[in-house]
């Protein structure tokens, strides 16, 4: 996993490397990209690469995490509905990146990032789960939430963003809120 750092120089190196990878990914398949190519594009040495990342997949994880964190800090949501709306608007505005990730089978990296973002709000979740009497099941809640969000993103990207960001956000909120579908009246 990439290293989280408060050091601005470290973060700048990570951002240069991830931006270089995304630029190269627009012209070459992920499987064919080499660390050397990425380093040359980012104008950093291999030591800098490996000081910050374990491998190329780690760079993708950082890129997604960094972009989402930046957006989240700029627009802190008030509740789940607003968080989903902002997340899906963000994805919609970066749809070329998400299509590129999907094309290279890299979208599953997003699932790991979503779990990390949810873990960042663990205190909030613990309070809610404690009120429900299930605080010892937080890992299940995090997993369910991350998988629901990821699955909707994956389908949305695969459908070429057929629904609007607001529609897919509301659908996701409904799922996460325990949407109950009434049985049709057969009378």
- Chain position carrying tokens 């897919």: 168
Residues 122 and 40 in one domain: no
What pLDDT was estimated at residue 12?
A: 94
Mean pLDDT of 48-72: 88
Helix boundaries (H) for 94-137: 95-103, 109-119, 122-132
Residues 55 and 110 in one domain: no
Residues 53 and 126 in one domain: no
Residues 11 and 88 in one domain: no
Q: What is the CATH number of the domain that holds 17?
A: 1.10.357.10
Q: What is the pLDDT of residues 100-129, one digit of tens each?
A: 999 999 888 888 878 877 776 666 666 776
Residues 124 and 180 in one domain: yes
Residues 94 and 130 in one domain: yes
Is 11 within the bounds of a domain? yes
Is 177 within the bounds of a domain? yes
As a whole number, the mean pLDDT across the chain is 85
What is the dihedral sign for C-alpha 4, 7, 8, 13? negative
pLDDT at position 62 over 50: yes
Residues 146 and 175 in one domain: yes
Residues 80 and 156 in one domain: yes
Residues 44 and 98 in one domain: no
What is the dihedral sign for C-alpha 88, 146, 83, 12? negative
Residues 97 and 153 in one domain: yes
What pLDDT was estimated at residue 118?
A: 75
Q: How far apart are CA 14 and CA 63, in angstroms?
A: 8
Residues 82 and 50 in one domain: no
Report how far apart, in Å, the C-alpha atoms of 24 and of each of 21, 29, 48, 183 are: 5, 8, 18, 51
Q: What is the pLDDT of residues 128-164, one digit of tens each?
A: 767 777 767 778 888 888 899 999 999 999 999 999 9
- Whether 20 and 42 have beta carbons less than 8 Å apart is answered as yes
Residue closest to 24 by CA, chosen among 33, 35, 15: 33
Q: What is the pLDDT of residues 7-51, one digit of tens each?
A: 899 999 999 999 999 999 999 999 999 999 999 999 999 999 999
Is 66 within the bounds of a domain? no
Is 38 within the bounds of a domain? yes
What pLDDT was estimated at residue 186?
A: 45
* 173 exposure class (CB count in 10 Å sphere: 0-12, 13-18, 19+): middle
- Chain position carrying tokens 């930046």: 70
State the residue range of the domain holding 85.
75-187
- Chain position carrying tokens 């994956």: 154
**Global pTM value:** 0.77
Is 117 within the bounds of a domain? yes
Residues 53 and 122 in one domain: no
Domain count, the chain: 2
Q: What is the pLDDT of residues 69-100, one digit of tens each?
A: 777 777 777 777 888 888 899 899 999 999 99
Is 162 within the bounds of a domain? yes
Assign residue 163 a region (left: φ > 0; alpha: ψ between -120 and 50; beta: otherwise). beta
Is 22 within the bounds of a domain? yes
């Amino acid at each position: 996993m990439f290293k989280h750092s408060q050091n601005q120089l470290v973060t700048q190196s990570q951002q240069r490397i991830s931006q270089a990878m995304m630029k190269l990914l627009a012209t070459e398949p992920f499987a064919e990209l080499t660390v050397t190519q990425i380093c040359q594009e980012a104008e950093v040495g291999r030591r800098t690469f490996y000081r910050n990342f374990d491998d190329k997949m780690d760079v993708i994880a950082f890129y997604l995490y960094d972009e989402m964190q930046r957006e989240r800090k700029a627009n802190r949501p008030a509740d789940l509905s607003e968080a989903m709306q902002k997340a899906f608007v963000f994805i919609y505005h970066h749809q070329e990146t998400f299509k590129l990730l999907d094309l290279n089978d890299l979208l599953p990296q997003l699932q790991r990032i979503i779990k990390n973002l949810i873990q960042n709000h663990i205190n909030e979740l613990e309070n809610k789960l404690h009120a429900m009497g299930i605080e010892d099941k937080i890992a299940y809640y995090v997993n369910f939430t991350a998988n629901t969000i990821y699955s909707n993103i994956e389908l949305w990207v695969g459908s070429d963003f057929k629904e609007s960001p607001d529609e897919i956000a509301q659908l996701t909120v409904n799922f996460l809120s325990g949407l109950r579908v009434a049985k049709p009246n057969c009378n």
